Chain A
Amino acid sequence: MNPDASTIAAGAPIEVDLSPIAEGQDIKMFWRGKPIYISHRTKKQIEEARAVNVASLPDPQTDEARVKSGHEQWLVVIGICTHLGCIPIAHEGSYDGFFCPCHGSVYDTSGRIRQGPAPLNLAVPPYQFVSDTKIQIG
């Protein structure tokens, strides 16, 4: 009863071209049935993400651990709220990150949970940079 071969094949890794995404923009795409946000973060957003006392976070994690070094302006997260699975809205909430309308969880510009009932940060899917403007997810 585990996922069958065609489901697994449809979930094979995909490549995404990042060049059309301008600074400050983000796109939402689907992989393995899950929505994925790819954000081209501004300098301000990166600074805000890094200026936090990590120990005070509900799910402590540094911003560096959530992005690829040399590509800090790219944030790739699975857009599923870790509370009960709704899709948070990008560029919303008091941290200019994500806001989940279902029960009010607020995430920051690194996709980390700040307020609300969600227990964990937004999950980062497995991905790597195949070139400066292209990533492979999965």
Chain B
Amino acid sequence: MSGPSDYQPSNPALQWIERRLPIFGLIHSSFVAYPTPRNLNYWWTFGAILSFMLGMQILTGVILAMHYTPNADLAFKSVELIVRDVNYGWLLRNMHAVGASMFFVAVYVHMFRGLYYGSYKEPREVLWILGVIIYLLMMATGFMGYVLPWGQMSFWGATVITNLFSAVPYVGESIVTLLWGGYSVGNPTLNRFFSLHYLLPFVIAGVVVLHVWALHVAGQNNPDGVEPKTEKDTVPFTPHATIKDMFGVACFLLLYAWFIFYMPNYLGDADNYIPANPGVTPPHIVPEWYYLPFYAILRSIPNKLAGVVAMFGAIIILCFLPWLDSAKTRSSKYRPLAKQFFWIFVAVCILLGYLGAQPPEGIYVIAGRVLTVCYFAYFLIVLPLLARIEKPRPVPNSISDAVLAKTGSRSTPMVSTAIVLALAGSLFAGSIDSAKASEGSDTPPGNKWSFSGPFGTFDRGALQRGLKVYKEVCSSCHGLSYVAFRNLAEAGGPGYSVAQASAFASEYKVKDGPNDAGDMFERPGRPADYFPSPFPNEQAARAANGGAAPPDLSLITKARSYKRGFPWFIFDVFTQYQEQGPDYVAALLQGYEEKVPEGVTIPEGSYYNKYFPGHAIKMPKPISDGQVTYDDGSPTTVAQYAKDVTTFLMWTAEPHMEARKSLGFQVFVFLIIFVGLMYFTKKKVWADSH
């Protein structure tokens, strides 16, 4: 494609527009008649997948922004209100959060494809550099997006990363103050991050237009690295590439839907369900998985400025790739040595990612340094050297020759590498959990929960009994401020009627006002009211509880987790295990021991608990056998209370879980059928061309 096309639409109305703005000709020449190499494999569908994901993120993001409040005091709650009250808000939020991860999965595959097949080589250098610019913009956008929910990890991740800029000599401190808009990460920071997070995706879209333009000038690369010579080498983009991309997108949607509907929090951090607290640093600050390799590189270098330079250098070095690798042969398919080093490089990146989530101690530090050297050595030593000394295999004469010479399973290498990458990816993603080292606490035992698994539902009886336990035992110290009385009558919950929920609410006294005289007054609760907190503020809570504030319990089962360890966090992706929080909470409630073990000292005023990190918990044993009477004949034991109240708290943390799983099932059925249809259509379209 160069120069205007001579396409004329058949419809006279469209011809009228075409004469004034030749947009149909542009679309026709770029995406319909556009000659695309006939030997492309499925690694080439990721461009379309990325475009789709950018559209998805913008669409879900714009709708989320209609309900989100970018103020430090209100942001966390506004996100919870989206998830709980906005129609399908839970779905929008899951799509956007998971979508960011999927966006990065696709971009890494896309970049590795470029690396392997030499897509950065002449004449595609500008195309490649535009891609690196898009990648940098994506990283900035993702970083700012993660700050917006204003959880503990949002706040502290923002603190750590903005502090990096203080390493710049002379102007570092001023840069950091400018980023913060204040003297520390605070409300001005959140506000400006929101503004930029809304802006940057549109800047990305603009650079993507340039990226596709640059692509169309040079033409697409292909697995054999031989430019198209005759018409026999190419097929028209529509329907061939269009249907193949649709099939690729459909398969990708299956992966996307797996996380949205069945594992929405797997790729995130439990600490981000704790509202941001500038006075308390989480024991492990871990960025999102897609930053982990660079975080590992940063921490490997003991000098602050050098670490920052190395981290950014690791990305910027990609821009120089076309000149670092001057080998004439494009595709690693015909470069046996380069191929092996490529896969070693992939392994180095994955291992760096794993290390980025580990505490920087002992062997992890040494490994990190070794792998950082390997990372840079690949670009600065290996590739330039190979360009000089490697003897590549002979490259086919043309694309059609390469296609005709093909025998046997072309798809198997793609499938097997996809499986390897999926396992590697889950190693990556699951390694975030490893950062939660079980420092001084036992691993909670697994329980059978009625709500686990793809078809899990809440046991109504357990929810009602759990509510009773909360009301009679926990509510004297712990608030439940995200739950409203009306939630008790909603579908997927304890199953009370609206009348019962109203009656339940009216038993509470709620502060309201001011009245016309200007005074605050008390009135009975209504369904729209929220469960009241036992203390008016955090200081009162601390004063009444020996200095430790009892946390609000609404989100506790999502805000707690424990280290799963290798290889369980890989299996978890496939078994959909995400009950770390409930297992921990139930274990904690039953984990009090009278006898403190040998060598363990518990300070005055604290109690020994097997499962609490550090073993010394300020809360005394909250429940004993027979403390709460059950009307339905269930055993009144501590174990039963623990199970019931934990089930109840899982519901308070995610009231729409049942809707999520049931919609997920419908979506999966649809997608599987859709994938099948796309596959057979693709086979039909391509029947003559292979």
Q: Which residues of A contact B (CB under 8 A)?
A: 1-4, 7, 11, 28, 30, 32-35, 83-87, 101-104, 117, 119
Contacts and interface: CB of A to CB of B under 8 A. Distances in A.
Contacts of A33: 182-186, 278
B60 interface: no
Contacts of B404: none
B360 interface: yes
A2 B178 contact: yes
A2 B176 CA distance: 10
A7 B279 contact: no
Contacts of A32: 182-184
B278 A35 contact: yes
Contact of B280 (A3, A87, A104): A87
A33 B185 CA distance: 8
Nearest to A32: B183
Interface string B153-195: 0001001100110000000000001101111111010001000
Interface string B338-361: 000000000000000000000111
Contacts of B156: 85-86
A103 B278 contact: no
A41 B301 CA distance: 35
Nearest to B163: A85
B279 to A, nearest CB: 6
Contacts of B497: none
Residue in A11, A33, A103 whose Cβ sees the most chain B Cβ within 10 Å = A33
Interface residues of B, number: 30
A102 B255 CA distance: 34
B375 to A, nearest CB: 20
Contact of B182 (A7, A84, A87): A7
A84 B280 CA distance: 14
A28 B188 CA distance: 24
B interface majority secondary structure: loop
Interface string B283-310: 1110000000000000100111000000
Given A30-B278, A35-B278, A101-B283, A3 B360 contact: no
A32 B183 CA distance: 6
Contacts of B178: 1-2
Contacts of B160: 84-86
Contacts, number: 69
B283 A11 contact: no
Given A2-B178, A85-B160, A85-B163, A11 B183 contact: yes
Given A1-B181, A32-B182, A101-B283, 19 more contacts: A2-B178, A3-B180, A4-B188, A7-B182, A11-B183, A30-B278, A30-B279, A33-B183, A33-B185, A33-B186, A35-B279, A83-B304, A87-B279, A101-B281, A102-B281, A102-B283, A102-B284, A103-B359, A104-B360
Contacts of B188: 3-4, 7
Contacts of A86: 156, 160, 281, 285
A83 B360 CA distance: 13
Nearest to B183: A32
B184 A34 contact: yes
A34 B183 contact: yes
Contacts of A119: 303-304
Nearest to B304: A119
A6 to B, nearest CB: 10
B186 A87 contact: no
**Chain A to chain B: the 9 pairs with minimum beta-carbon distance, closest first:** A33-B184, A32-B183, A86-B281, A85-B163, A85-B159, A7-B182, A84-B160, A87-B281, A3-B182
A45 to B, nearest CB: 21
Nearest to B174: A2
A33 B360 CA distance: 28
A21 B245 CA distance: 69
A86 B361 CA distance: 17
Given A30-B279, A84-B160, A1 B192 contact: yes
B181 A4 contact: yes
B361 A3 contact: no
A4 B191 CA distance: 13
A102 B184 contact: no
A45 B160 CA distance: 31
A3 B183 contact: yes
13 contacts: A2-B177, A3-B183, A7-B181, A11-B182, A11-B183, A33-B184, A33-B185, A33-B186, A85-B163, A86-B281, A102-B285, A103-B360, A104-B361
Contacts of B182: 3, 7, 11, 32-33
A103 B280 CA distance: 15
Nearest to A103: B360
A11 B472 CA distance: 44
Given A101-B283, A104-B361, A117-B302, A3 B181 contact: yes
Contacts of A85: 156, 159-160, 163
A104 B188 CA distance: 30
A3 B177 contact: yes
B601 to A, nearest CB: 15
A86 B282 CA distance: 9
B285 to A, nearest CB: 6
Contacts of A87: 279-281
A2 B182 CA distance: 7
A4 to B, nearest CB: 7
A30 B279 CA distance: 9
Interface in B580-627: none
Contacts of B283: 101-102
Interface in B230-279: 278-279
A35 B183 CA distance: 11
A30 B183 CA distance: 11
Contacts of B180: 3
B565 to A, nearest CB: 21
B360 to A, nearest CB: 5
Contacts of A7: 181-183, 186, 188
